[in-house]
Amino acid sequence: MLEDVTLTFGQYDLVLNAFSLVIAAFLGTFIYLIGMREQVAKPFRPALLVSAIVLAIAGYHYLRIYGSWEAAFVIDGDTATPSGEPFNNAYRYVDWFLTVPLLVLETIAVLGLAKATKSSLLRKLVPAAALMIALGYPGEITSDNGVRMIWGTLSTIPFLYMLYVLWTELGAALQTQSAVVRTKMRNLRLLLIGTWGVYPIAFLLPVFASEASAGLLVGREVGYALADVLAKALFGILIAGIAIQKTEELGLGSDIDLTEGRRETSNA
């Protein structure tokens, strides 16, 4: 297993500091999103709330991951040797299983789309997100590269399907948005593909490495940590940016009755 390698104290500490950075970034962004809720018009508040929930769920898991990393090694001078207690990778998958569908939900929710369009997108994207993570897990925990590739390939099918829906159907839905919102959404999608692409690459690392090494383990953990900050915290900030822009376009007091597709403005 990748986790069974001896690290230098510096390598061990680098990973611990990366986890610590993630927790701080999630906490700060969580507070920002809660604070921003009052600054955006009502229809966009659920998107900010879902984004805050993602950070709370992921922050909790990072606390567990941090503790698991500490327990997995015994520090002796300049070396960190495996303690015999395995580093628990399952926390990541449980985290993704909950947060990836929610990330999809916040992306769609911030657009204030008509109910039929929104439901159609969510019915496709949310189950695909959950399926992608569920199919990846058996591949992650195996030490057999053949088995890893089979589950990895199966998991890639819903992954590609999601990208396809996000580019085609969501692209079409964006035509009803203002030019500024369209640009912001395009940036959000680029961030999504750029960061989500990191996870399957990290998943494949053990297939390409001839043997488990400290560099590989440290690279994977720091890579996941940075991808998580970008895919959840920075993503949440961009979502807030879209909600603020849409609020500027519609007015803070505006409300959209999404069920009827009507738009009402009051000066509340």
Ligand X SMILES: *C/C=C(C)/C=C/C=C(C)/C=C/C1=C(C)CCCC1(C)C
**What is the nearest approach in angstroms of ligand X to the Cβ of residue 133?**
5
Q: Are 19 and 223 in contact (CB under 8 A)?
A: no
Shortest Cβ contact with ligand X: which residue?
Answer: 136
Among 96, 177, 238, 245, binds ligand X (CB under 6 A): 96
Closer residue to ligand X (CB): 102 or 185: 102
106 binds ligand X (CB under 6 A): no
**From 21-29, 98-106, 182-190, 212-220, span contacting ligand X (CB under 6 A):** 98-106
132 binds ligand X (CB under 6 A): yes
62 binds ligand X (CB under 6 A): no
99 binds ligand X (CB under 6 A): yes
**What is the nearest approach in angstroms of ligand X to the Cβ of residue 155?**
4
199 binds ligand X (CB under 6 A): yes
196 binds ligand X (CB under 6 A): yes
**What is the nearest approach in angstroms of ligand X to the Cβ of residue 121?**
17
Task: Name which of 240, 249, 232, 254 is nearest 109 in CA terms.
Answer: 240
26 binds ligand X (CB under 6 A): no
Terminal CA-CA length for the chain:
59
Number of residues that bind ligand X (CB under 6 A): 18
- Quote the tokens at residue 256: 């959209």
Closer residue to ligand X (CB): 205 or 258: 205
Contacting residues toward ligand X, per CB under 6 A: 96, 99-100, 103, 132-133, 136, 152, 155-156, 159, 196, 199-200, 203, 228, 231-232
